[in-house]
Amino acid sequence: MFDWIQHIADWFVYDILNLNKGQHLAEALNFFIYDTTKILILLFVIIFFMGIVNSYFPIDKVKNYLSRNKLYGLEYLMASLFGVVTPFCSCSSVPLFIGFVRGGIPLGVTFAFLITSPLVNEVAIGLFVGLFGLKTTIIYVVSGILLGTISGVILQKLKLESYLTPWVKEVLANAQKDQDTFIAEKQTLNQRLPVIWDEVLKILKGVIPYVIVGIAIGGLMHGYIPEGFFEQYMAKDNLLAVPIATLLAVPMYSNASGILPVAQVLVAKGIPLGTAIAFMMGVVGLSLPEAMLLKKVMTFKLIAIFFGVVTLCIIISGYLFNILL
Amino acid sequence: MSKVIKVLGTGCPKCQSMTRVVKDVISENNIDATLEKVEDIMEIMKYSVMSTPALVIDDVITIKGRIPSKDEVLELLKS
């Protein structure tokens, strides 16, 4: 499917730049051009597709749907699925949280959404397909959705309402299954496209530098770290590897675009995929800046419980991956 | 009549670029309007928006969750 990109990379490196095959620099450059082009194309396609889906499921519609429907437990899964198609910006997490609470959506369901939204997003999916292939991507996406769902159910069971900050409790007390007047935009796809197109370009522009730097660092590591280097430290049977990788990752704040290309090289050099995925989920899904933002609506204790439950679920899924893959 | 424009957002990069776009449109077209940046979350929630940045013109939410183009803002301010 991507042979033609390889041809372009070959042509550019060997014919235009006249570098010799087998030369270290030539191979590194070839790898860089091939990888960057392939990933940017995939990112473009997936961001565009998700943009179309999202245009038909704006967040207000999602909220109204979740607050209107009793789904007998399925609402956690639905919230998690909606989290996938909604582009996430950590600065929106607080207004979103309040909006959900005000709409009478249970706390656990809101958490399910909040967990999956950053974890499984269009940029992460695009990079995953490009770097790890379709099969690993599907596993990542499905487990991300399940992780949000299960964490949401657990957090609901813990009855955490009393740990909200006072003003949010007030919002909760006045919560109603209100349907905020939301005027559904009855536009045809053709009318929507310019706006979607604009968004796609903006997102791409935002991530391109990270992708390029990430792939460049990955390319360098590729050349200098010996094959199987990490196996001695992080073998599958090393039970501490997954928790350590996850705990290291949680405070880190990087978008998926920078961290994934590096993680791919780590896997190629011997880190088990499950350990790497746990690490990536920790980086992408939870971060200190997000915790700081959430302080406006949650007490420290609630944030700690929230992060604790999600971290635990990430560690468990890391182990599962290492066993299954 | 002078328009009252508010940009709602907790101060993320997206909100800042929205403010910049609106500012540019106002000054480039000599539009009679006041621009206010609302960063306080309690204040923002009064408008029940769930995705920021949001653009409020004369107390009507016109755009939320994305950065509009200059033309789009100009169009909204004219109507």
Give residue A26's Cα distance to chain centre: 33
Cβ contacts of A121 within 8 Å, gap of 6 or more: A50, A84, A87, A88, A256
The predicted structure's pLDDT at residue A99: 86
Sign for the CA dihedral angle at A203, A208, A213, A218 comes to positive
DSSP string, A250-291: TT----HHHHHHHHHHHHHTT--HHHHHHHHHHHHH--HHHH
Task: Calculate Rg over the CA atoms of chain A.
Answer: 21
* Residue whose token pair is 């990079």: A127
Q: Where are the alpha helices (DSSP H) in chain A?
A: 3-10, 24-56, 59-68, 74-85, 93-102, 107-119, 122-132, 134-157, 166-173, 189-224, 241-249, 256-268, 273-285, 288-294, 300-324
**Tell me, what's the pLDDT at A300?**
93
The CA distance from A242 to A272, in Å, is: 9
pLDDT score for A286: 85
The pLDDT, as a whole number, for residue A311 is 95
**Class of CATH domain B3-69:** alpha beta
Neighbouring residues of A191: CB distance < 8 A, sequence distance ≥ 6: none
For chain A, residues with pLDDT lower than 70 are 89-90, 176-186, 223, 231-236, 253-255
Beta-carbon separation of B50 and A195 below 8 A? no
pLDDT tens digits for chain B (79 residues)? 688 899 988 877 788 888 999 999 988 988 888 888 988 888 888 887 888 888 998 888 888 887 888 888 888 888 7
- Please state the domain extents for chain B: 3-69
Q: Global pTM?
A: 0.84
Contacts of A94 in chain B (CB under 8 A): 10, 41
Q: What tens digit of pLDDT does each residue of A281-308 get?
A: 888 888 887 888 888 889 999 999 999 9
Vertex A79, ends A77 and A81: CA angle to 5°? 70
pLDDT for the residue numbered A153: 95
DSSP B3-36: EEEEEE-SS-HHHHHHHHHHHHHHHHTT--EEEE
Alpha-carbon distance of A128 to A121, in angstroms, equals: 11
Give pLDDT, residue A144. Answer: 93
Query: Given an 8 Å threshold on Cβ–Cβ distance, is B12 in contact with A89?
Result: yes
Peptide bond into B53 cis (omega under 30): yes
> Are A321 and A278 in contact, with CB atoms under 8 Å apart?
yes
Of A290, A231, A273, A260, residue with least CA distance to A90? A290
Q: Identify the residue among A88, A92, A164 best suited for mutation to test binding to B, counting B beta carbons within 10 A and taking the highest.
A: A92
- pLDDT for A177 equals 58
Query: Considering only CB atoms, which chain B residues are within 8 Å of A296?
Result: 41
- Beta carbons of B51 and A167 less than 8 Å apart: no
Decide if A92 and B41 are in contact by the 8 Å CB cutoff: no
Q: How many Å is the Cα radius of gyration of chain B? A: 11
* Contact yes or no for A92 and B50 at CB 8 A: yes
How many angstroms separate the CA atoms of A111 and A100, rounded?
10
Q: Do the Cβ atoms of A86 and A54 come closer than 8 Å?
A: yes
Catalytic residue list of B: 12, 15
Asked if A102 has any chain B CB less than 8 Å from its own CB, the reply is: yes
Q: Which residues contact A15 (CB under 8 A, 6 or more apart)?
A: none
In this structure, which amino acid lies at residue A26? Answer: A
Residues A246 and A311: beta-carbon distance below 8 Å: yes
Interface of B with A (CB under 8 A): 9-12, 14-15, 41-42, 44-45, 48-52, 65-67, 69
CB A310, CB A144: distance < 8 Å:
no
